[in-house]
Structure 1
Amino acid sequence: MLVFRLLMILVGLVAGYAAGRALNMSGPNSEMFLVNTVSLMLAGALLAFLVTPRLEPLLSRSFSGVRRWYSSLAPRTVAAATFGLIVALLLSVLVSNLLASLPIYSWPISILVTLVLAWFFVNYSVQHADAFGLLASQQVRRKKGSKVLDTNVIIDGRVVELAKAGFLEGELLIPSFVLRELQLLADHSDAQRRTRGKRGLAVLEELQELRPLRIDDWDEPGLDKVDDKLIRFARETGGKIVSNDNALSRIAKLQGVEVLSIHEAAVALKPQVQAGDYLTITVSKGGQQQGQGVGYLEDGTMVVVEDGLKFRGKPLRVLVVNNVQTNVGRMIFAKPDQAA
């Protein structure tokens, strides 16, 4: 903010000089003109010095908003908009020269023509940003069909089975910051984290034997969280994120990034249990309400049995009453089979 304060003081000096010139009555070479101008310049600089600290918070918020907006733009979008603006400026020069011979022509018409051409060509270029991918840097060109793997899905390991089954088409991308996170976990002092990191590296080695795997040397130092970097990387490369993190999936989808959620796929492939079906479970503990019993299916689905606590530890045939999908998984509500 020091640069901003110095700039504002310079603006105060210039404003004071301009005010001195405007109020001068005795000629620019008179001593009175010099004294008045210096006084007004000092007054402008001091006023800027007093006002600037009060303007800094407002301007800081405004600049932060603009910076976040600009950072959210994909490089190919910026490249496309810049190309469209260049074309608009070149055409405006040609059109202005053609219109200059008309008697009604004036400089406001030239500005209006430039603005109309800029609006049209910038919008058209942004809407067809994919066609301008070669204008962006080589590092962030769109890779159609590529899949970006996050840290959690690598450690999970099920991505290997998906690759074997042929469900992951296109190039598999591993950003360099994801690989560094796995390396940090593998070298961590905590045994559990160290095990997770080593498992992730082993999964990558197994994937490399099955499919082409590319480590992309991309990073964004301005972003602290790995999830934010992952979303930015996927947006800039045009790839789809493969993840089992529900929070990451929601944030990415809100920002227009496609996500292939292994968790959602696993839930969708679970066998559906309908009301009226019969199940045999073992009640293992009590529920939240009095007399309720809780058991689990082989896939881990929770079954809440009405008045089932008295059958704890015994196989019990139950009638499914309701089947509910929640954020944490599927829950089945049942009651003991009276016939049994």
Structure 2
Amino acid sequence: MLAIRLLILLLGLSLGLLAGQVLAQSLPSDLGLVNTLSLMLAGVLSSVLLMPRLERLVTGWTERLTRWYARLAPRTVAAATAGLIVALLLSVLLGNLLRGLPFSSWVLSVVVTLVLAVFFVGFAVRHADAFSMFATPQVRRKSGQKILDSNVIIDGRLLDLARAGFVEGQLVVPGFVLRELQLLADHTDSQKRTRGKRGLNVLEELRQVRPLQVDDWDDINIARVDDKLIRLARETGSKLLTNDTNLSKIAKLHGLEVMSIHEAAMALKPQVQAGDHLMVTITKGGQQQGQGVGYLEDGTMVVVEDGLKFRGKPARVLVVNNVQTNVGRMIFARVDQGSDAA
């Protein structure tokens, strides 16, 4: 704050000095020094008068610039710097070549430099991944931080886990995820609008249970939200808390730590062992002739041998095998000979 005030005072003083010199050249007078000093004092007093407004303006610009710079990926800064270096070197060479032309001037040199800078900086930023080796590694945040995606928020089970005390560490909601939920909540489609509003309500309730941190990090060069989540988790060393199976697989391929509520729920389901008896209603036929398919209350699929004849009826079945797949648990069974189903 003190530095900003000193800069504002220095600016007023400089403007007063400049005005005094211009006045002394246009209107020669023996009072030139007095006029210059008077204008410098007027500039300082004007700076003091406008200090609060100018201070807020400069502070706002500084904060926006700081936030913008903090969101930049290290590789993007390295790429832009390399592009600018190349542009400046080429502008010096071209300036020497253009110096012999009759229409050469400093204006032409500035224009050439600007054109080269725009071209090479833009080109380098679009290919920023090639400059990753020159980027300074970003400081990782404290361990235990978990980044939430929109699916796990809308799902809502995270709120119950937080209330039960099973969620530890800092929970982080990226700004682009909040914007995604807002777009869903304002969508014309009623189903998407319901999902968006549910996600925002879950966050509001979750904020009462666990402290939430909103991270304004973003990368305009990345279009997909899933790719942004992976990049943010990589750069911050955070865990990714999701309910999206495909996102979980991709994140693990990138070497990230992933916490999947879906996988946790599947792991906590009660195990059904071979030889157990179940009551299941056959709802449709299976892939093989005579097979029937039913579902338990938790959604687990039960494939019943020769169970199609009990379609639409509850049947007592004997568990033969229990298989865990990527999409869930699947139970194979056969109709119990003592079943009362007709």
Query: 2-side partners of 1:173 and 1:149: how far apart?
Result: 6
Per-residue displacement from partner, 1:222-275 (whole Å, max 9, x unpaired)? 101000101111112221111010111111111111110001001101111122
Return closer, same or farther for 1:239/1:209 CA change in 2, 3 Å cut-off.
Answer: same
- Please state how far the C-alpha of 1:172 moved relative to its aligned partner: 0.8
- Please state how far the C-alpha of 1:212 moved relative to its aligned partner: 0.6
- Report if the CA contact (8 A) 1:306-1:336 is conserved: yes
Query: 2-side partners of 1:197 and 1:179: how far apart?
Result: 10
Question: What is residue 171 of structure 2 aligned with on the other side?
Answer: 172
Moved more, 256-265 or 230-239: 230-239
Corresponding position: 1:160 with 2:159: yes
Question: What is residue 239 of structure 2 aligned with on the other side?
Answer: 240
Query: 2-side partners of 1:70 and 1:228: how far apart?
Result: 19
- Report if the CA contact (8 A) 1:175-1:218 is conserved: yes
Q: CA RMSD in A?
A: 2.9
Question: What is residue 8 of structure 2 aligned with on the other side?
Answer: none
- Please state how far the C-alpha of 1:327 moved relative to its aligned partner: 2.2
- Please state how far the C-alpha of 1:192 moved relative to its aligned partner: 0.6
- Please state how far the C-alpha of 1:78 moved relative to its aligned partner: 4.0
- Please state how far the C-alpha of 1:202 moved relative to its aligned partner: 0.2
Question: What is residue 255 of structure 1 aligned with on the other side?
Answer: 254
Query: 2-side partners of 1:329 and 1:145: how far apart?
Result: 28
- Please state how far the C-alpha of 1:65 moved relative to its aligned partner: 11
Per-residue displacement from partner, 1:104-161 (whole Å, max 9, x unpaired)? xxxxxxxxxxxxxxxxxxxxxxxxxxxx83xxxxxxx413211110011001111101
Q: Name the amino acid aligned to 2:129.
A: R
Corresponding position: 1:231 with 2:288: no
Question: What is residue 276 of structure 2 aligned with on the other side?
Answer: 277
Query: 2-side partners of 1:248 and 1:159: how far apart?
Result: 17
Q: Name the amino acid aligned to 1:294.
A: V
Question: What is residue 337 of structure 1 aligned with on the other side?
Answer: 336
Query: 2-side partners of 1:274 and 1:65: how far apart?
Result: 56
- Report if the CA contact (8 A) 1:146-1:170 is conserved: yes
Corresponding position: 1:318 with 2:331: no
Return closer, same or farther for 1:65/1:271 CA change in 2, 3 Å cut-off.
Answer: farther
Query: 1-side partners of 2:217 and 2:296: how far apart?
Result: 44
The secondary structure found in structure 2 opposite 1:79 is coil
Question: What is residue 143 of structure 2 aligned with on the other side?
Answer: 144
Identity across the alignment (%):
69
Query: 2-side partners of 1:185 and 1:282: how far apart?
Result: 37
Per-residue displacement from partner, 1:154-206 (whole Å, max 9, x unpaired)? 01111101111111111110110000000010001111101100000000000
- Report if the CA contact (8 A) 1:291-1:308 is conserved: yes
Query: 2-side partners of 1:257 and 1:144: how far apart?
Result: 13
Matches within 5 A, 1:4-23: none
The secondary structure found in structure 1 opposite 2:188 is coil
- Please state how far the C-alpha of 1:326 moved relative to its aligned partner: 1.9
Return closer, same or farther for 1:65/1:189 CA change in 2, 3 Å cut-off.
Answer: closer
Question: What is residue 112 of structure 1 aligned with on the other side?
Answer: none
Query: 1-side partners of 2:291 and 2:126: how far apart?
Result: 52
Can you give the 5+ residue segments of structure 2 that lack an aligned partner in the other structure?
1-82, 98-123
Corresponding position: 1:67 with 2:128: yes
Query: 2-side partners of 1:69 and 1:230: how far apart?
Result: 21
Question: What is residue 46 of structure 1 aligned with on the other side?
Answer: none
Q: Name the amino acid aligned to 2:239.
A: K
The secondary structure found in structure 1 opposite 2:265 is helix
Query: 1-side partners of 2:289 and 2:224: how far apart?
Result: 44
Return closer, same or farther for 1:328/1:64 CA change in 2, 3 Å cut-off.
Answer: farther
Query: 1-side partners of 2:310 and 2:247: how far apart?
Result: 41
Can you give the 5+ residue segments of structure 1 that lack an aligned partner in the other structure?
18-62, 81-131, 134-140
